[in-house]
Every structure is written in C-alpha cells, then in structure tokens.
Structure 1
C-alpha cells in the first residue's frame, strides 16, 4: 500500500508540473501575441486617423461616437489557433478528464464578431443618428457659400501680391500667383481645421465643415499650383518648376505649423480669461442643442436666400462683362461654378481612411487633387488649340472656380503635417511625392507634350 502511494504521488506531482508549465507557456504566448496584435491594431488606427486628419466628407455629419474614426477595437487578450485570432476567456468550464487543473487553465473559444463589428442594436442606433435631409442640405449650402468666399479671397490675394501691386508673385517665377493664398489658407487651417475645429463643431457641424472644407479648401488650390509649374517646365524652366514645388510645399507646411502654435496660444488665453464653467462655446452649444430643429430651419432658409442672391448677382455681372473678356468676367463665372467643385471634393473626402492596407493615404484628397490637375491641363491645352476669346473666358473661369475649388492645399497640408507628427514621418514625404509626382507627370503628358509637338507658345 505504501509502495502504491509512494508511486502515486510523483505521478500527480509530475502531472501538476506539466500543467503548470503548459499554462505558463500558454500565458506567455497569449501575452506576446496579444501585444503583437494590439500593436498592429494601434498602427491601423493611427493610419486611419492620419488619413482623416483633413476631411472625411459627409461622414462628419454622423454621430461622433461612430464618425470620428469608424473604428471598433478589441482590447482583450488573444491567441491564435489554426491561423484565427481567438480570445482567452477565464472561468470557463473544462473537461475534468484533462490532465491540467481546471482552476489554472484558460480555455479558448471563437472570437466574438462584436469585437470587430458593431452589434445590430448599435447599427440601428447609428442609423437613427444619421443626418436628415435638412441637415445635409444645410451643409451643402454652407459649402457653396463658403466656397464662393474662398474663390473671391484667392482672387483678391492673387491681385494684391501680383506684379501690378506688391510684385511678390508672377507667372514667370517659382513664386507662383497662388503662393499667398496657399500660405494664408494653410495658416488658417491650423486655426479652424485643427485647433478650433472640434470646438466649432460642437456649436455647428455645418459651420465647421463650411469653414474648413468650403472656405479654406477653396481659398487654396493644388491644380493652379501644378499648372503654373507645368507652364514653367513647358518653357524649359525646369529648375524654376522644381523650386516652385519645393518652396510651395515648405511655405505651406511652415504656415500650418505657425497657425497651430498661434491658435493654441490664443485658446490658452481664452481659457484663462473665461474661467467660468459656462464659456462662450458651451453657451452657444447649449442654445443650438435646445433649439436644434428651429436653428436648422432658420439656417437653411437664410443660406438658401443668400446663395440665391449670390448666384443672381454673379450671373447678372457675368452676363454684362462676358463680351469684354475681362478678368472680372472670369471671376464672376468662377463664383457660379465654384460650389460644384466644393461639393465634388466633399463627396470624395468620404473615402479618406478607407483604403485597406493603404488607408494611411487620403484617397479622397489625392483623387480630387490629381483629377483637378489633369482637367486643368486639358483646359490649358484646349485654350491653345481653340484660341478664341469666348472659350478662353469660359475655360479660365472653370480653372479658377470649378478646378480651384475641387483641388486643395490646406487639406493636403493638414494631412501632410499629421503624417509628419506620426511614428512614421516617411509617410508624409511619400504622400507628397505621390500627389505631386502623378499630377505633374500626367499634366506633362496632357499639356506639355502637345505644346512641344505643336509648337505652342
């Protein structure tokens, strides 16, 4: 009996040792795999956040709980079984015949789909919080009105800093005419598109979208920048074209940094001056939330009337000045077609952060800038081919308004800045190279090659 007992005890001890060793190994594997998986998830989240730094289109109108990133993360420990990620669940029932003690072993069960996708109740709640036709219409009107203001401001800065007034910019220099507007727009993007954007959105999503996407996106233009560099390269001034891209990028990047720093200082000053719990933003938010439908209806009527008046005025002025083929005629036509460019860009922005393994690239902004640059080159080529005053006026208006509003530097530079601040700053240079490189190459094929072949000057 003693012998049997003596032989029995080591067997239990050995079994317990193997169980402890197996459990310890499983925990270590779980911890390592959990860390690796969490690291991948964090990188994925950062990539998506970077791509959404500038604009996310109409997704911004949805509930903040879902629209801010559209991500659903899982934070429990995981292991991999047969190539599938599965969670470790404690206190689960185990087979009592197992040589491992039930109290020390954690069992593996299939991964719950709620960890990756929102539940049906959450989806229904999300659908209920989706913006209505009223809010969507107000946002479109806001984009149109602010887009027109952006066109007017860009035109004014071109004339102010052009050769006839200040003389800082020129069509024949790497300091192209849109340098001032791109700098001013990037600076203001640091204020209203980065630092104060969330605060403005608490008062009104439409105002935040109108300021950043509508006004600042239309104040700055990538297609005009690219076309001026194409003009220089077409004339054989390749070094000027290179310097134009380099200096333009550096000036815009410096402007948004300066804007962010000054905006943060101003925000700190506001907080110090308004120490009460009900600050200016809080009071405005409270008023808008308590009378949301009334505010939406009032805003819709006011903006609809405003846009109608603007279209009427610019239409009358364009008709009167069209036969003169002046720069003013081009401007008035540009203000009429500008909102269409803003709306297209806003729609394309919904694809930012939606690119699978390439979600770090803002596909919406990239598409808008390249598309506008290519159409700009087509119109520039047609202007030389057709060579009539009427066509020149219409084409120039489309370039200034539609394509100037379709492309943007402020959003592009906001995304560039966000990438520079990330763990992978190389993404900023890759994104800038892709945008500028593709636009310039396609523009060369569309504009420069026909100009060289036909001998246009």
Structure 2
C-alpha cells in the first residue's frame, strides 16, 4: 500500500506541474494577445485622429461623438465582467489562468457597439434643425469672404502690383492665399479652435471650413501646374507642386508657433481667454433658443443682402465681360462649393482599412480638380465671351471653394507629427498624383489633340 502510494505521488506531482506549465503558457499567450490588441487599438485611434485633424463636417456639431467616432481608450490587459479593464493578476489558489477566449469575450459589447439607450441619449444631444441651418448660413457668408480675400491677394501679389506671382511661373497666383490660409489655420484651426468652439460651433466651422477653406484652393493650384505641363514646362510644374507644398506646410507651422506665443503672452498678462469664453458661454446658455434664432435671422439677412448686391452688380457688369462680373458671379456660387465640401468632410476618418486617409478632403480636392480641368477644356472648345465669363466664375467660386489647401495642410501636418510620418508623404502623393494625372487626361490631351492655344 505504501509502495503504491509512493508510486502515485510522483505521478500526481507531475500532473500538477503540467497544469502549472499550461497555466503559465496561457497567461503568456493571453498577455501577448492583449498587448497586440491594445497596440492595434492605439494605432487605429492615431490613424483616425490624423484623418480628422482638418475637418469632420457636420459631425463636429455633436457634443459627444459616441457612436460616430468609434474611439475608446481601453486597456486590454484584462477585462472584468462589467467591461472595466484591470491588469491580469495571477491566482495562486487556482493553477489555471483565464483562457484567451474568456479574455476576449468578457469585453463588454457595449464598449464596442453602443446600446440602444446610449444611441438614444446621443440622438438627444444631436443638434437641432436651427443649429444646422445656422451653420449652413455661416459657412456661406464666411465662404464669400474667403473668395473676396483670395481675389484681393491674387491681385495684390500679381503682375499689376507686386509682381511676385504669374500664370507662367511656378510661383502661381493662388500661392499667397494658400500660404495665408495655412498660417491662419495654425491659429484658428489648431491652437484657438477649442476656445472658439466653446463659444460657438457655427463660428468655429465658419472660420475654418468656410473662410479658410475658401481662401485657399487646391483645384486652382493643380490647374496651373497642368497648364505649365501642357506647355512643356515640366520642371516648372514639378517645382510649383514641391515649393507650394513646402511653403504651405511651413506656413501652418509658423502659424501654430506664433499662436502659442500669443497665448503665452495672454497668460503672462493675466488676460486669459477663459474669462471671455466663460462669459460668452453663459450668455449663450441663458436663452439658447433665442440665441440661435437671433443668430440665424441675422445671418440670413446678411446672406440675402450679399447675394442681392452681388447679383445686381454681376448683371450690370456681365455685358462688358469684365473681371468684376466674374468675381461677383463667383461669390454667388461659392457657398455651394463650401456646403458640398462640408458634407464630404463627414467621411474623414470613416475608412475601414485606411482610416488615416481623409477621404472627404481627398474626394473634394480631386473632384474639384477634375471639374476645373473639364471647364478649362470647354472654355477652349466653345470660345465665347459669355461662356468664358460663366466658366471662369464657376472655376474661381464654386470649384475654388469646393477644394481646399488649409484643411489638406492641417491633415498633412498632423500626419507629420504622428508616429508614422510616412502617411503625410503618401497622402500628398495620392492627392497630387491622382489630380495631376486626371487633369492631364481631361485638359492637356484634348488640347494637344485639337491644337488649342
């Protein structure tokens, strides 16, 4: 009996040792898996963040982007039954640690897929019709201001005054406006954006998406490079793309640094914007409905006056085929381009496998570049003063506002600051490559074939 007991003890001990070894193996495997999942989630969050750096469209109106963002700060070291994350702890009393499947499936599904109650709460926080209309009106007004400012900068730095830019050079006419817009994006789209948003979502959207997005234009930039390549000036076209990108990227960095310096001066002078922001928020929240209604009526009146004035001026100048007629028509059609770009911006960060690509901004820029090239081809084919006036107004107003450099540069800068700076270069190459190739096919090839001058 003792002999049997002595023979059995080693076998039992060996069995326990195997169980302990299996337990350690499972713990190591689950730890490695949880680290991989955690790293994957952080990488997805970063990709989504850089894609949403410039604009997210009407999604910005939501106070809590609960179901939209899909972004959760979770640690996958261990998950309790309630979905609360806790580090893995070894249980000395039990030789077997939780299995991999237990760790994965113990994650609360509500953390990944919001429950119906959460969705209903999110819908209650969604902006009402008044707030949405206010944003559309604000975008239209600031978009018109962006068109006027872009026109002024083009004339100021053009051959008539300063003489720094030209249609026949890589210093293209829209370069000053792209640089100024990128610089101001560093101020109002990066450093002071949160402060402006606290005061008014419509104001923040109007300044960044409306004014700065319309002040800068990608389609005009791309078309000038296509023009140069059509004339055989391929070196100038390459330099125009490269220098334009470098100057715009440097402008937003300079804007961010100067804005931070200004904010530091305000703190040193004890005149922080927090007090002003708090007072504005209190006034707005006191009677929010009246605040929205008043702002909406004011913006509607301003937009009506602007469209009426520009419409009358365009009608009076149209017969003379003057530059002013093109400008006034561009101001009338400009808001439509802003609205389309704002709608497309909702798809930034929404890609499944390529979340780091801002598909909304990319689509807007490529679409505007193709339409710009198509109108340029039609202008040469039709060759009438009336069509030239209307097409030029659509190019400068509608397509100039549909495309943007300020948002593109904000996304490019965010990618450069991320852990994967290669995304910035890939994004720029995709944007310029597709736009330039399609522009060449739509504009240059027919011009070469038909012999247009």
Aligned residues: 443
Which position in structure 2 is the counterpart of 1:353?
Answer: 349
1:195 aligns with 2:191: yes
| Shift in CA distance, 344/287, structure 1 to aligned 2, threshold 3 Å | same
| Shift in CA distance, 166/89, structure 1 to aligned 2, threshold 3 Å | closer
Contact 1:187 1:257 in 2 (8 A): yes
- Find 1:178's aligned residue among 174, 177, 189: 174
Deviates more, 1:254-263 or 1:277-286: 277-286
1:455 aligns with 2:451: yes
Determine helix, strand or coil for the equivalent of 1:356. Answer: coil
How far is 1:413 from its partner?
0.6
In the TM superposition, structure 1's runs of 4+ consecutive aligned residues that sit over 6 Å from their partners are 87-91
Which position in structure 2 is the counterpart of 1:305?
Answer: 301
1:106 aligns with 2:101: no
Q: What is the alpha-carbon distance in structure 2 between the residues aligned to residue 127 and residue 145 of structure 1?
A: 28
How far is 1:21 from its partner?
1.8
Which position in structure 2 is the counterpart of 1:83?
Answer: none
Contact 1:52 1:415 in 2 (8 A): yes
- Find 1:384's aligned residue among 369, 380, 388: 380
Contact 1:33 1:78 in 2 (8 A): no
Question: Could you list the per-position Cα deviations for residues 111-153 of structure 1 after superposition, in whole angstroms to 9, with x for gaps in the alignment?
Answer: 5422311122211111111111010000000100000000000
Question: Could you list the per-position Cα deviations for residues 208-247 of structure 1 after superposition, in whole angstroms to 9, with x for gaps in the alignment?
Answer: 0000000000000000001111111111111111111111
Contact 1:50 1:360 in 2 (8 A): yes
Deviates more, 1:333-342 or 1:16-25: 16-25
Question: Could you list the per-position Cα deviations for residues 409-440 of structure 1 after superposition, in whole angstroms to 9, with x for gaps in the alignment?
Answer: 00001111111111111111111111111111
Which position in structure 1 is the counterpart of 2:28?
Answer: 28
How far is 1:290 from its partner?
3.0
Which position in structure 2 is the counterpart of 1:418?
Answer: 414
How far is 1:7 from its partner?
4.2
How far is 1:31 from its partner?
1.0
Contact 2:67 2:114 in 1 (8 A): no
Q: What is the alpha-carbon distance in structure 1 between the residues aligned to residue 380 and residue 273 of structure 2?
A: 62
Which position in structure 1 is the counterpart of 2:276?
Answer: 280
1:438 aligns with 2:438: no
Q: How does 1:43-54 map to 2 (within 5 A)?
A: 43-54=43-54
- Find 1:404's aligned residue among 400, 404, 417: 400
| Shift in CA distance, 325/418, structure 1 to aligned 2, threshold 3 Å | same
Query: RMSD over aligned Cα, in angstroms?
Result: 2.2
Determine helix, strand or coil for the equivalent of 1:324. Answer: coil
How far is 1:101 from its partner?
6.1
Contact 2:64 2:122 in 1 (8 A): no
What TM-score do the two structures reach when normalised by structure 2? 0.93
| Shift in CA distance, 126/261, structure 1 to aligned 2, threshold 3 Å | same
Which position in structure 1 is the counterpart of 2:82?
Answer: none
Q: What is the alpha-carbon distance in structure 2 between the residues aligned to residue 277 and residue 385 of structure 1?
A: 55
Determine helix, strand or coil for the equivalent of 1:357. Answer: coil
How far is 1:285 from its partner?
2.2
How far is 1:354 from its partner?
1.1
How far is 1:22 from its partner?
1.8
Which position in structure 2 is the counterpart of 1:270?
Answer: 266
Which position in structure 1 is the counterpart of 2:142?
Answer: 146
| Shift in CA distance, 205/278, structure 1 to aligned 2, threshold 3 Å | closer
Which position in structure 2 is the counterpart of 1:96?
Answer: none
Contact 1:187 1:259 in 2 (8 A): yes
Which position in structure 1 is the counterpart of 2:226?
Answer: 230
Q: What is the alpha-carbon distance in structure 2 between the residues aligned to residue 443 and residue 363 of structure 1?
A: 19
Question: Could you list the per-position Cα deviations for residues 353-403 of structure 1 after superposition, in whole angstroms to 9, with x for gaps in the alignment?
Answer: 011111111100000000000000111111111111111110000001000
Q: What is the alpha-carbon distance in structure 2 between the residues aligned to residue 259 and residue 73 of structure 1?
A: 31
Contact 1:339 1:402 in 2 (8 A): yes
- Find 1:369's aligned residue among 365, 372, 381: 365
Q: What is the alpha-carbon distance in structure 2 between the residues aligned to residue 282 and residue 68 of structure 1?
A: 28
What TM-score do the two structures reach when normalised by structure 1? 0.92
How far is 1:10 from its partner?
3.5
How far is 1:19 from its partner?
2.6
Q: What is the alpha-carbon distance in structure 1 between the residues aligned to residue 390 and residue 144 of structure 2?
A: 17
